[in-house]
Amino acid sequence: MDKKAIAHLVDHTLLSPVADWQMISNLCNEAVQMQAASVCIPPCYVKETVAYLRSYLQSDLPVCTVIGFPNGYMTKGVKFNETLEAVKDGADEIDMVINLTHVKNGRYDAVLNEIRAVRAACPGKILKVIIEACALSEAEKIKMCQVVSESGADFIKTSTGFAGGGATLEDVALLRAHVAEHVKVKAAGGIKTVEQAQALIAAGAERLGASSLLAQLKE
């Protein structure tokens, strides 16, 4: 896959808690120039980012934001309301973090209910479910593939990038093998090179979350 095609799969991401508006606007400029899949930014910047893209850059580039980020242990109601606000502000795509405590307690019904609640709060929008694969056993990852497949979500996503582990070829291949055909795989966290991106795509990723990959693809 050539660099231009890879760029089209990248959610150009900036989720630093100290990101200022200049950094966010630069992210948008780069994403539009490279025809990325989306920009992924903190919820507090969604409304401003949508206005900047639509009015100033005259771009329909999708705006993605994160819910329950990065730890995921907020209540279902908090995530539901956070999603409602993000959609009201103009978000096109939602990347939610699951409650890992539910997984560790074997409460997969609670995880499923939580995802379905977020799904209900963003009808017609793309929903990606972050399972934080680096924190899960193989059996837990496979079970989460089943849960996400039943939930109505569009993607299963490997990582937040904030938990000490990122996307691996093994995890992407495992998720692709066990998730339903209608669910896509997003690889995120630690994707720094074109070669990494190509390998993850070959393993089954159909979307990439990365903060520095577009700079590599420009070269």
- The CATH number of the domain where 155 resides is what? 3.20.20.70
Rounded Cα distance between 59 and 78, Å, is 31
* Catalytic positions, written as ranges: 95, 157, 186
pLDDT score of 127 more than 90? yes
Structural domain range at position 41: 3-218
Single pTM value for the model: 0.97
Integer-rounded Cα Rg, in Å, for the chain is 16
Q: Span 113-130, mean pLDDT?
A: 98
12-35 residue pLDDT tens: 999 999 999 999 999 999 999 999
**SS3 of 13, please?**
strand
Rounded Cα distance between 211 and 219, Å, is 15
b/e for 151-174, b at 16 or more Cβ within 10 A?
Answer: bbbbbbbbbbbebebbbbeebbbb
Structure tokens at 82: 């956070």
pLDDT at 218: 84
pLDDT band (50, 70, 90) for residue 85: very high
Give the residue carrying structure tokens 């103009």: 90
Rounded Cα distance between 52 and 62, Å, is 12
pLDDT band (50, 70, 90) for residue 160: very high
Number of domains in the chain: 1
pLDDT score of 219 more than 90? no
pLDDT at 24: 98
Distinct helix (H) and strand (E) counts, the chain: 10, 8
